[in-house]
């Protein structure tokens, strides 16, 4: 008489034993509980937005004491705090040049300059180029050479030319092109802008400004 078949299937034929499966599940649960009970890492302190500092800015020959947030750009402070809206805000990432001002006589993008960085420096905006009630030489040259259309980029273009002429009173046309290459004109009046820069150089010579 044949032996009665055994209803128990060997664990080895199932790939993984029931005992092994239960053991692995139990081990995973222990690890999960251990991790859950671990103390959280200490949270880093976050400075509150809105904290302000007082800085002294020398703008167009006048000392201005202003309350600013350390994150504010010079462009924002000039326009929104001091009311000098000649400098325009375009791209706000240093590509268009509409916000160009002079810092210690050199053209700088005010959108990429923090106001706190400019403390103790000499800042000149397009408003500061006026000679009393008259236009400055670069401003006058832009008018005479019709070097603008919509006019949005014009303040930045004027400041770029002003900075160029302060460092190089007699630039060649190639030097003028390089000098204003960081300022974009979406209207495409570059030829007029170049001519205005050359004209401004001549006007300064006539006035004895060189």
* Extended strands (E) in the chain: 53-59, 62-68, 100-103, 106-109, 122-124
Q: What is the three-class DSSP state of 139? A: helix
pLDDT averaged over every residue in the chain: 86
**Could you tell me what percent of the chain has a pLDDT over 90?**
74
pTM metric for this prediction: 0.76
- pLDDT tens across 192-210, in order? 999 999 999 999 999 875 5
- Cα–Cα distances (Å) from 209 to 62, 137, 200, in that order, read 22, 9, 11
Question: Within 10 Å of residue 197's Cβ, how many Cβ atoms?
Answer: 28
CA–CA separation, 20 and 24 (whole Å) = 6
Question: Looking at per-residue confidence, does 9 or 168 come out higher?
Answer: 168
Where in the sequence of the chain do the CATH 3.10.20.30 domains occur? 52-126
Domain made up of 52-126: CATH architecture: Roll (3.10)
Give the pLDDT confidence score for residue 24 in this predicted structure. Answer: 58
| Residue 28 or residue 167, greater confidence | 167
CATH architecture, domain defined by 130-210: Orthogonal Bundle (1.10)
Residues of the chain with CATH 1.10.150.120: 130-210
**4-60, pLDDT tens digit by residue?**
445 554 444 455 555 564 455 555 554 444 444 545 555 555 556 679 999 999 999
Q: Does the pLDDT of residue 149 top 60, yes or no? A: yes
The 3-state DSSP class for residue 111 equals: coil
- pLDDT score, position 107: 98
């Amino acid at each position: 008489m044949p032996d009665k078949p055994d209803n128990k299937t060997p664990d080895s034929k199932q790939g993984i034993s029931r005992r092994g499966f239960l053991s692995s599940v139990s081990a995973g649960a222990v690890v999960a509980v251990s991790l859950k009970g671990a103390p959280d890492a200490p949270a880093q302190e976050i400075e509150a937005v809105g904290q302000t500092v007082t800085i002294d800015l020398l703008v167009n020959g006048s000392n201005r004491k202003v309350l600013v947030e350390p994150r504010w750009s010079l462009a924002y402070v000039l326009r929104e705090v001091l009311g000098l809206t000649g400098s325009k805000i375009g791209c706000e990432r240093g590509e268009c040049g509409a916000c160009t001002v002079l810092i210690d006589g050199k053209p700088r993008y005010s959108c990429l300059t923090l106001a706190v960085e400019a403390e103790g420096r000499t800042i000149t905006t397009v408003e500061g180029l006026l000679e009393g009630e008259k236009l400055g030489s670069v401003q006058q040259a832009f008018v005479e050479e019709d070097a603008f259309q919509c006019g949005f980029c014009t303040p930045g273009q004027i400041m770029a030319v002003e900075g160029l002429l302060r460092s190089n009173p007699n630039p060649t046309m190639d030097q003028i092109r390089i000098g204003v290459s960081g300022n974009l004109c979406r209207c495409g009046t570059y030829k007029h802008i170049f001519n205005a820069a050359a004209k401004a150089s001549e006007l300064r010579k006539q006035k004895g400004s060189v």
